Structure 1
Amino acid sequence: MRVSHYFEGEGVVTGGFAQSVNNQRAILDEHDIDYTTDPSLDVDLLHLNNAGPRSLYYAKRARRRGIPVLFHTHNTAADFRDSFVFSNALAKPLRPYLAYAYGLADHLICPSEHNQEVIAEYTDTPSTVISNGFDHERFAGWDDPALREEYLDRYDLEPPVVFMFGHVIKRKGLRTFVETARALPEYDFAWFGYLNPTGGRLDRFLQPRETRKLVEYSPENCTFTGYIEDPRGAPAAGDVFFWPSKNENEGMALLEAMHCGKPPVIRDIPTYEWLDDGEDCRKCATATDFADAIARLCEDADERERIGANAAATTEQFTLDAVGEQLITLYDEVVSGPTNERTPTG
């Protein structure tokens, strides 16, 4: 089997989106799948990861040639909102565009059951839920005391540290993060990650003014580190993972933090129905709930340990070994099955 594993926007799109693509390619390498990262039609399967115009062009050409098309549904209109300048205005036309794009595929890969339910409102293309997974090797050695000391000293943090890991965008719950830090001045809050949606140099143009103001006027106990070269620095320094994101297709940073045994405090949204409040996380719906849950975990080391250990155990189902078998099985099924003969519309 030869696969065209194409990621339109590679090198520009960053964060969990890009890491998901890296995870997929690690799986292909592990299973000795022959693939190219170019949008080639000299293949048995076209696997697309971003619904850009070039991807749609090759999807249509592949269908005409009888080459099965697999599309990862990383993008939804709701997930696009509250990310960068004009994202809310663009979210409305994005939905019919994505519906058309995903309708070109023979099969879709949805990273969560919630994402699958959302995508089912876009198109009737068959779909399979396969987690983006996480690469545990990226975090090997996160518990090194020297690494913890390095990152605590670098950002002048005093344990227990409440932390977040990911792009600093409004959708990720930026306002909730800042206001919770303001309500709990006795604890240090640290957000590790890019201070703009793309990690590029256009942050002043891409980042909404509201986002910049929230960061600029955050309380003294709230630190925004910007990009860190070693992702292990976040769980090394952090003690309670605060993930108030308003909308997620899955949330790779959450999986990574849980894997490191960090008890997560999350927003109670449909994406996380697979998590058990009080066992492997704390789910919250209001500002008061967030503050209370974080304060309890910060003050109770035993509770942090209990929920963190349960969280780590839960993530075993999301390792690359676990999700890799699912991905390769789907490849075989799509390639060996009948090609999709539906006529695209639009």
Structure 2
Amino acid sequence: MRSWIKLYERPKAVREIREIWLSEAVAARVEASGLGILRECFTIGLDDNLLSAFIERWHPDTNTFHMPFGEISIMLHDVQHILGIPVSGERVHVDGLAEADDSGLRGKIARFYGVYLSDVVPSRYKNGGLLTSDLRNVVYLGNEHDSLRAYLLILLGHTLFMDKSVRIASRRDSTGVSGCLPLLQAWIYEYFPRFQPGGGFFFEDRPLVEAWASLPRAKGDSHTFQMYRHSLDDLRSEHVRWLPYGNRPQGACRVSLYSGFIRHLDIVEPYQPDRCMRQFGYIQAIPLPMPIPIVESRAANGNYRLDFGQEPDKTWGSENSITPLRKLSRKAYMLFEYGDGYMTWYAEISHPYLYPPSHRLHFRSVEFHEEPEVALALSRKFKNVFQQTSEEA
């Protein structure tokens, strides 16, 4: 088995975002978008071992974590509560980014440098992206509309959509990951009391990720990483806090029930809430089949290209893409319930355990109904197990 995964926090990039000067008009529009708070969400100290143990259970085909009790994932209502950013409304999209004429951002950048667009694209954008330094010039020198577009592209690119995502890091040969790792770590704390450390300070009307801003960085070590692996193998459905934000998360975030595709520039990923019904308070049934791409290819740099034959912009925001829960399942009386045949089906399509039964360790877990004080005490006890095991080894 591989070791823990190196985490790339990119603090310098986040500092640079905060240092970019914005006019009053552009700054007001950034705040109105609700995305400005992303500049403050990256102060949490990451836990290399905990995140690595979860990342290797991520399945890029389903966009879910495959656990012993079934699938679980970061849903849109999780993003809204943890990061405090809007997840509904019109899509965030930079029109004209890839246009081969002067109407796109590339065309404006070419004019700043006094060269033809045909000279700029091959030399500076051979991998399809835009340089942050060039986008910063648009922020400073462009009109209000272009300045806003360029700044939001920098902001999203350095926080939510970094180059090396969990999708790539979950591969066996991967050694590092970047991306919105504070979101993943705070999500783990919300759903899995077993791993929640003490010292969190929650503030009303503030993103939940800020509660863990004072956590120190926990660097990777082989003993702790293996213990987290064993602990995930030991998890059962009743150990999960399935509804951390209240009984009806879809009430405050209806778009979390959206079924379709989510897009960022040329990256398109399927989103299927029917695979995670317990996160809405419903019994988990066998989900609908995943969409099958009509075109699959691998580029020379190892990246996959999938074409699902649908235009995501046409499904996002459509009332027909919001599936009522009653059509998929029924309300759960016990939050960890699953329907007939689900676990049999799941065992056939997944590998929920990393270790054989004879090699698994067992821990007393915090269940979803236990008090926070109990969760805190047991999480400290759990960390003591790590330390003792390391010393004995």
Instruction: Give the number of the structure whose residues are more often strand, by fraction.
Output: 1
Larger radius of gyration: 2
Which structure has more RCO (C-alpha within 8 Å, separation ≥ 6)? 2
Normalised by the shorter chain, which TM-score bucket?
Answer: under 0.3
